[in-house]
């Protein structure tokens, strides 16, 4: 029962990691950039969420008003992070599109610092507690096993977003254009795809998912701080690499695996070893499968 409980915790946390990992993998898939600022973008989303809770007067209570408030937070923070991501691409990455790969990468690290300082201004140097809008009521009629309202919230936000993303990428015109641009941007332009717009849309979607994740993070973990972006970004980036960077199902799988490993190692080995174990597993997997769990082997006919 204890093991099952840890798995549940791990999967819920992993779903959150996966949502962030999608932002890394999508941007990498479309322009080959590891967007180091993504974690800090989510931190800014959490700042906005905290501000909005006060400004909109969203109160705990579990009623319809609370849920409507949470939905509004997810939407507004999603739009904010999506828009901010697009703006950063326009201003910082787009002028460097044809520059050596190192240039946008270093710029992304710069953007990460700028975001972190903005967060420092916004939140102050100390960690802030995030209002506990959704209570930890156990939904299972069982004493040994807990699946709380909070866990349900994570599932309710993450699963529809992932299903929606997968449908968008697989079936829509934009999705087809995104896949085409990720494979050959010149060929995509030659058939009439506006490559810059598709890249902007990708940044928006990745940012939107991150914004949603930031709200869930605040409600689930209940503590936010201006440095939260670094560690969370690192785990999510690891998840994206583990699953195969550039692969959308890979990011989801990688997130769930990381969540499980973190939960199990915290429970059975000790919290302080968790980071070491996660990255040791990453290294082992990459030694045997450099392309990640679901990444594609680069073997194409020329």
**Distance in Å, CB of 165 to another protein, minimum:** 18
**Distance in Å, CB of 137 to another protein, minimum:** 45
Calpha distance 22→236 (Å, rounded) = 8
Q: Which of residues 29 and 207 has its CB atom nearest to another protein in the complex?
A: 29
Sign of CA dihedral 140, 145, 149, 152: negative
Phi/psi at 74 (nearest 5 deg)? -60, -45
**Distance in Å, CB of 193 to another protein, minimum:** 6
**Distance in Å, CB of 106 to another protein, minimum:** 22
Name the one range near another protein by CB under 8 A: 56-64, 130-138, 170-178, 274-282.
170-178
Place of tokens 């499980």: 260
**Distance in Å, CB of 289 to another protein, minimum:** 18
Residue 5: is it exposed, middle or buried by C-beta count within 10 angstroms (0-12/13-18/19+)? middle
Sign of CA dihedral 170, 87, 253, 216: negative
* Contacts of another protein in 172-201 (CB under 8 A): 173, 176-177, 179-180, 183-184, 186-195
**Distance in Å, CB of 166 to another protein, minimum:** 16
Q: Which of residues 79 and 195 has its CB atom nearest to another protein in the complex?
A: 195
Bridge partner residues of 172 (DSSP): none
> Which residues fall within 8 angstroms of residue 18, CB to CB, at 6 or more apart?
158, 162, 236, 239, 251, 252, 253, 254, 255, 256, 259
Q: Which of residues 180 and 267 has its CB atom nearest to another protein in the complex?
A: 180
Binding mask 225-254 for another protein (x = CB under 8 A): ------------------------------
**Distance in Å, CB of 249 to another protein, minimum:** 14
- For position 125 contacting another protein by CB under 8 A, the verdict is no
Structure tokens at 22: 């999608």
Q: Which of residues 272 and 301 has its CB atom nearest to another protein in the complex?
A: 301
Calpha distance 235→203 (Å, rounded) = 20
- How many residues bind another protein (CB under 8 A)? The answer is 21
**Distance in Å, CB of 285 to another protein, minimum:** 22
Q: Which of residues 99 and 276 has its CB atom nearest to another protein in the complex?
A: 99
Q: Which of residues 101 and 296 has its CB atom nearest to another protein in the complex?
A: 296
Calpha distance 5→144 (Å, rounded) = 8
CA 166 vs. chain centroid, Å, equals: 15
The count of other CB atoms within 10 Å of the CB of residue 15 is 23
**Which of 164, 152, 165, 163 lies closest to 70, judged by CA?**
152
Residues that bind another protein (CB under 8 A): 173, 176-177, 179-180, 183-184, 186-195, 296, 300-302
């Amino acid at each position: 029962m204890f093991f099952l409980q840890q798995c549940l915790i791990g999967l819920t946390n992993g779903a959150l990691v996966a949502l962030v990992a999608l932002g890394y993998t999508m941007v990498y898939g479309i322009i080959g950039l590891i967007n180091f600022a993504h974690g800090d973008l989510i931190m800014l989303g959490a700042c906005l969420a905290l501000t909005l809770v006060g400004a909109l007067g969203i109160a705990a209570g579990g009623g319809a008003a609370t849920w409507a408030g949470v939905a509004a937070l997810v939407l507004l923070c999603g739009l904010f992070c999506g828009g901010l991501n697009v703006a950063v691409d326009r201003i910082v990455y787009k002028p460097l599109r044809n520059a050596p790969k190192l240039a946008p990468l270093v710029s992304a690290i710069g953007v990460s610092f700028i975001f972190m300082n903005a967060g420092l201004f916004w939140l102050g140097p100390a960690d802030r507690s995030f209002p506990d809008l959704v209570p930890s009521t156990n939904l299972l009629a069982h004493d040994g096993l807990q699946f709380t309202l909070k866990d349900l919230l994570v599932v309710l936000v993450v699963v529809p977003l992932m299903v929606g993303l997968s449908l968008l990428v697989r079936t829509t015109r934009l999705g087809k254009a995104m896949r085409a641009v990720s494979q050959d941007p010149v060929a995509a332009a030659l058939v009439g795809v506006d490559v810059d717009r598709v890249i902007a849309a990708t940044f928006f979607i990745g940012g939107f998912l991150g914004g949603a994740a930031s709200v869930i993070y605040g409600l689930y973990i209940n503590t936010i701080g201006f440095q939260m972006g670094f560690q969370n970004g690192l785990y999510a980036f690891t998840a994206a690499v583990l699953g195969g960077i550039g692969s959308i199902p890979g990011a989801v799988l990688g997130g769930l695996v990381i969540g499980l490993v973190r939960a199990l190692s915290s429970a059975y080995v000790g919290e302080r070893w968790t980071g070491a174990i996660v990255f040791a597993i990453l290294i082992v997997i990459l030694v045997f499968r450099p392309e990640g769990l679901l990444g594609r082997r680069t073997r194409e006919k020329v």
